[in-house]
Structure 1
């Protein structure tokens, strides 16, 4: 099922680029991307597969990446100072990004949607469910965590690639993504280097902005622990995490599932901090099964 084309929606002072797959009359599913990741982190084939299951799949660029608004005037946050508690260089938090996502649902003329978030996208989706419960039908949090600093920590090697200096050109960005994927990808599945190269090159062409990624990182670092608030989430929730996630340890997924009443936890052996193609059928099945239960299809 082909894309319906890239469009833009204005949410407050932010313009969000988005792309949809499927029939707008079908059940809406909003896909929220992770740190520095553009909407293309949800592969077209994956989105088309979700649409073929009767879902109106929506992927979008968060603020500061891709074709959405980049807050260049905000400058580059001083991440060292931020970690030491000085927030004077921080322009926004995850709550603001959650407001973007909730606003996009409204801008599309939808009363609510099912939410899927990967990594930082899971954090944003959690905050949407907490703050805008009327906009959320179900929550799927993938390879994410609660904001409790005692869980979900990155390995030393993962921290090394996360905080490496930004690439200076297109080929450098492609090589950087390959290096990152080799460290944080799924050890139980072969790395599709061709797909990684293609996606990294496209991401560079769509909007290479290391300062924007740093602003997103600052939003993660400064946002509060969501554990207590997650206890008030009432929508059906699925938590998926890889057993071999080097960037967000599986303890983050376990803590998320423990925090949300009635949440289902699925830990996938051999999965790291990515969505390898061989896992798309299982992940699609689990997401659609949750949605079907909520929508009363089963």
Structure 2
């Protein structure tokens, strides 16, 4: 897995498929790493004729960490004091634009999940010339009245930070149980394996807090989304407890001509039984 220098930082990335095919960029969510995109899912997209690019966002995985900026004061940010906000989603979108340019991709079909959907939306607003199509999965607009978590999901993400490998794996598995798809539950073994792989590759809880601060401090994208002319698909789980389906509905309502796919029994994850449905929907939108 190589690094590329983009927007003044190092981004770790990986590709799947034929470089001669159209580029499809996948952007993951809060605290997530490029390995959170299942390899078989990426292979499925590549088999449809796309060169799939996935990467670690800043402050996650093996990309540049902003440890020198310290910990944001989340309660203060929520109270209206942005003085400890390290960066915004627009900065993360600029990272993404820089990655595409450094890789020589004139345009890409952009797919974002959760916070990655927010970054994908911002990328489309800031750099529309780079985005051939947009797919926003289990995400929201930045309007604080939509996409609210359930109390259980909020509590799961607010647990005291774990310190040991075993605690991290146990906590991640428990959180996945709370926010995952009730109709498509993953096995404990699979969840533990994925949590262990992420911990062993990189562990940066402070970076996750800085990313969260960026989400909180970034402005509502709804006015900008009303100007988007890019073919857009919005996918959301009807049973998503972390970002309520109202966030997806609001995104689709804001983007003219967008398509909305609400999936019954899907929570805040990408369950394997739904990969064919998701791949079909993403590539159909790209073909628009």
Distance 1:11 1:196 in 2: 32
Residue 62 (1) aligns with residue 57 (2): yes
1:18-41 residue CA offsets vs partner (Å, 9 max, x unmatched): 000001100100000000010111
Residue 200 (1) aligns with residue 195 (2): yes
Aligned pairs (5 A) from 1:89-128: 89-128=84-123
Residue 220 (1) aligns with residue 211 (2): no
Residue 283 (1) aligns with residue 278 (2): yes
Residue 28 (1) aligns with residue 23 (2): yes
Q: Per the alignment, in what secondary structure is the counterpart of residue 253 of structure 2?
A: helix
- Residue 181 of structure 1 is matched in structure 2 by 176
Q: CA RMSD in A?
A: 0.8
2:238 to 208, 221, 243: 243
Is the Cα contact below 8 Å between 2:7 and 2:94 reproduced in 1? no
Residue 154 (1) aligns with residue 153 (2): no
Count of aligned pairs? 288
Distance 2:101 2:185 in 1: 39
- Residue 75 of structure 1 is matched in structure 2 by 70
1:262 to 257, 260, 270: 257
Distance 1:278 1:21 in 2: 21
Offset at residue 217 of structure 1 (A): 0.3
Is the Cα contact below 8 Å between 2:60 and 2:208 reproduced in 1? yes
- Residue 3 of structure 1 is matched in structure 2 by none
Structure 1: segments with no counterpart, 5+ residues? 1-5, 294-298
Distance 2:188 2:50 in 1: 29
Offset at residue 149 of structure 1 (A): 0.4
Distance 2:70 2:179 in 1: 28
1:4-27 residue CA offsets vs partner (Å, 9 max, x unmatched): xx1111012210000000011001
Residue 7 (1) aligns with residue 7 (2): no
- Residue 296 of structure 1 is matched in structure 2 by none
